[in-house]
Every structure is written in structure tokens, then in C-alpha cells.
Amino acid sequence: MSDKAIKTPIPAGALGSSAMDEREVEAVANLIKQEHERMFRYREDAGEKGMSQCDYLETALREKTGASYALFLASGTGALSCALSSYEIGPGDEVIVPAYTYIATAAAVIDVGAVPVIAEIDDSLGMDPADFERKITPHTKAVILVHMQGVPARVDAIRAIAKKHNLIMIEDACQAIGAKYKGKYVGMDSDAWAWSTNFFKVITSGEGGVFFTNNADAFQRGVYQSDSGMAMWKTELPITKETKPFARAGLRGSEVSAAILRVQLDKLDGILDHTRHLKKVLLSSLNTPKNYQLQYVDDPEGDCGFSITFIAKDQATAKKMSELLAEEGLNIGSVYNAGFPDRHIYSHWDPIINKVSATPAGYPWKDPSYKGNVEYSVDMCPNTLDILQRALRITLNIRMTETNVKEFADAINKVDAMI
């Protein structure tokens, strides 16, 4: 028998898509068989012949999360632009985003005409509250807090600063469906929040997103942002038309995706029970670390539990650990080097760092209503780059077992003792 710590094959797979089975197939087949003549979320006969898949899904989303309003959309990026529009954020405004997030968080800000400002992360791998406060200017209108890899970021600390400066707080929970903070689903105490249900996420509909808010006025504006024909559709959505309808984007969710996501939503708790259990087993199998510290998790109870990040004491140690772990059969480079160039790290967001605009007029940075002077550079957030180069991450999935995670812990313990 091999003396490597990893003896059992490591199953691969994204969470939601790995949980797919006949139930999703049936949901789509039934939709096509029964509804092929009206596979559209808004219906002339709404209320008479029953609700659309999107209507059913949104009802289930509200019931599950406790949110007052939910709108199913074509993407998570679209959900973020609805969240921003819902608070009238646009040209002239700055929005602070973390240096470690999918580029879409910053792109949604640009999409509504506002300017993204990039703040450092800390050992939570979420936004650093101190740097957030430093980045506030007279033009700042909002902050987007991102929960990467299902781990809740420092919600209370960020909220206290946002309140102090009268800023709108939006949470990007695209990677954190099902994550909680102090007992509530992440986002619930913020002005608006977003999920993505693209292929890589906790649950998936292939592509998709959800815009959530507890504010009735904001919801109306978010709905108008999502569909330029909104004022002309008959809908079950609580639209009072008090907000003057405006014509904007085309972000409607599809009935096929909604049918799939209804099934996936039913599976969410089962998926997270498994990943949370595996993470607990892994953590309890670790010896006291010498060369690393674990990622700081502000609310471990609310963590989705599918990622465990070891932050080495310095970059050389991270490199050494990574090499030794590979010899044990566990291939994990630093987060910085994973899938290089990683679209989740600001220094690779070339279109933003270089202020590349879709128009010769240089929108949104040269928009006449923008009076700020944000500057970007690849080395503007050195702490973020340092932390990500020291961060080694194990990602769990629903096909893994206790045996897998105990072997992961064996590998980490063995390597940590060797250095």
C-alpha cells in the first residue's frame, strides 16, 4: 500500500450539477409537454390558468429565505445590476467592491453607469472593514459585500461602517446560496442581495440569478431594470406602478431554468448538510497548526462548508506546503495560482484596471456627472495579493465522503509537521 496520505480517489464535480437526477429531467419534460404554448413567465391569463414556473419559484424562494421580494433572472450579474438600480445607483456614483470576487461584481457597477472602487480583503477572504472605510469618498453611494466560496464575510463590521456613512449595502451571495449570518440567510438585513445559479454555484439552473430585497419601492425599480417591456406585461409580481416604469435591460429568467431551480432549491439543505458535516470532520481531524492559520470565519454556523482555506505564514511556506501536499496526492496550489489568470482576482480584471470602455466617450469613468478620480493598478491591493498567494484551499463536493476528508486532514497534518 502507498504511504501517501491520500489513498482514496478524490471525486470531482460542482455542487448543484452533481446533485441533478431524474427529478430535474422530469420537471423540464413536464414543462415542455404541458406548457409549450406558453413557456413565458408573464402571462396574459395570469391568475386564471395558474402561475408560471418563475412565479412558483419566487414564492418558494420567499418562503425559504424569509425575504419579502425575489425576482428570478437570467444571471447573477443581472441580479446585481437590478440590486444597484433598485436604489437608483448610477452615473456619478462610486460603489466599493472587494479585490477578491468574480469580475462580475465590479462589472455590474459599470453596467448601471457607476464607478467601481476596489477595497482590500483580509484573513476572512472577504472585504477588509478598515480598507473599506479608507476607500469612502464624497461620491460613494454603496458597498457590495461578497461572500466567497460559501463563507460569510464580516457582515456586522461592514454594516456598521456603511450605516455610519449612510451607504446602501448590497450583498453578493452568488457563491453563497444557503449561507447564513447570525441565523438569517445572508443578505436579509441588507438593502438588497443577489444569487447566481450558473453552472458553478451551490445550486444551478445552468444559468440564472435572483435579486432579493425587503424594500417594496426598491423591488419595483429592480423589476423595471430587468425587463424593458415590464409596464406592458400582465404579472403576478407586486407592481403598483407608483414607481414610474423605466425601460432598461433584458434580464428575464427562463421558464426552463425556473423549473430546474425549483427542484434544486428542494435539494439545497441536503447538499449543505453534507458539505457542512464534511467540513466539521475535516476541521476536527486537524492537529494544531505550525505553519498556517485557518481562514477567519465570522459565523462558522452559517458557513456553507464546501471550502476550507489554509493561510500559510508566508508565501515560501505556502509554496513548500503545496509541493509536499502534491507528493501526498493532494493537488492544491495557492488560490492566487488556481486557474491562472484567475478572474476572481482584481489584478486580472484588465478591462477595469485599464478603464476600457464600450464607448469612445469613456463611460463610466469620463461620464460628466462623475466628479471623482478613481485610479486602478495591478498592485493597488498588496494585502489581497499576499493573502491569496498564501492561501491553500480544499473544495468539497457532495460525492466526497468522511474517508476523503480525513485523508485530506492526514495530508495537511503530515506536511505541516514536515516543515
Ligand X SMILES: *Cc1c(COP(=O)(O)O)cnc(C)c1O
Binding part of the chain for ligand X, among 35-43, 47-55, 70-78, 261-269 by CB under 6 A, reads 70-78
Closest distance of CB 101 from ligand X, Å: 5
**How many CA atoms within 13 Å lie on the side-chain side of 15?**
31
Catalytic status, residue 201: yes
Label residue 211 exposed, middle or buried (CB < 10 Å: 0-12, 13-18, 19+): buried
The position carrying cell 443581472 is 78
Backbone angles phi, psi at 131, to 5 degrees: -70, -35
Q: Is 209 in the site for ligand X (CB under 6 A)?
A: yes
CB 326 within 8 A of CB 10: no
**Residue type at 375 in one-letter notation:** E
Binding of residue 149 to ligand X (CB under 6 A):
no
The verdict on 105 binding ligand X (CB under 6 A) reads yes
204 vs 404, beta carbon nearer ligand X = 204
Angle at Cα 145 formed by Cα 143 and Cα 146, nearest 5°?
145
CA 84 to each of CA 142, 179, 270: distance values in angstroms, whole numbers, following the listed order: 8, 22, 32
> Which residues make Cβ contacts (< 8 Å) with residue 50, sequence separation at least 6?
none
- State which residue, 58 or 172, has the beta carbon closest to ligand X: 172
In the block, cell 450558473 appears at: 198
Q: Which of 52, 53, 65, 77 binds ligand X (CB under 6 A)?
A: 77
Give the nearest distance from C-beta 369 to ligand X in angstroms. 26
Distance of CA 22 to the CA centre of its chain: 27
> According to CB under 6 A, which one of 16, 76, 333, 364 is a site residue for ligand X?
76
Q: What is the DSSP secondary-structure string of 147-160?
A: -GGG----HHHHHH
Does residue 258 interact with ligand X by CB under 6 A? no
Catalytic-labelled residue, pool 201, 267, 279, 414? 201
Judged by CB under 6 A, the number of residues near ligand X is 14
Q: Which of 71, 146, 325, 388 binds ligand X (CB under 6 A)?
A: 146
Site string for ligand X, 178-207 (x = CB under 6 A): ------------------x-x---------
Task: Residue count of the chain, please give it.
Answer: 419
- Asked if 101 interacts with ligand X (CB under 6 A), we say yes
Q: Which residue is nearest to ligand X (CB)?
A: 76
Identify the burial level of 14 via C-beta atoms within 10 angstroms of its C-beta, where 0-12 means exposed, 13-18 middle and 19 or more buried.
Answer: middle
Question: What is the CA angle 95-366-101, rounded to 5?
Answer: 35
Site residues for ligand X, 2-31, by CB under 6 A, read: none
Nearer of residues 69 and 100 to ligand X, judged by Cβ? 100
Three-class DSSP category at 289: coil
DSSP state at residue 245: P
Q: Which is nearer to ligand X, 101 or 389 (CB)?
A: 101
C-alpha cell at 63: 418562503
CB of 265 to ligand X, least distance (A): 16
Residues 345-364 that bind ligand X (CB under 6 A): none
Choices 99-107, 123-131, 134-142, 181-189 (CB under 6 A): range interacting with ligand X: 99-107
Q: Out of 42, 72, 87, 102, which residue is the one contacting ligand X (CB under 6 A)? A: 102
By CB under 6 A, tell whether 416 contacts ligand X. no
Residue with cell 496550489: 333
Q: Write the binding mask 106 to 145 for ligand X: x where contact by CB under 6 A, - elsewhere.
A: ----------------------------------------
Amino acid identity of residue 183, one-letter, is G
The only residue of 31, 71, 104, 177 in contact with ligand X, by rule CB under 6 A: 104
Residues 145/171, Cβ–Cβ less than 8 Å: yes
162 binds ligand X (CB under 6 A): no
Measured from the CB atom, is 76 or 409 closer to ligand X?
A: 76
| Catalytic residue IDs | 201
Residues that bind ligand X (CB under 6 A): 75-77, 101-102, 104-105, 146, 172, 174-175, 196, 198, 209
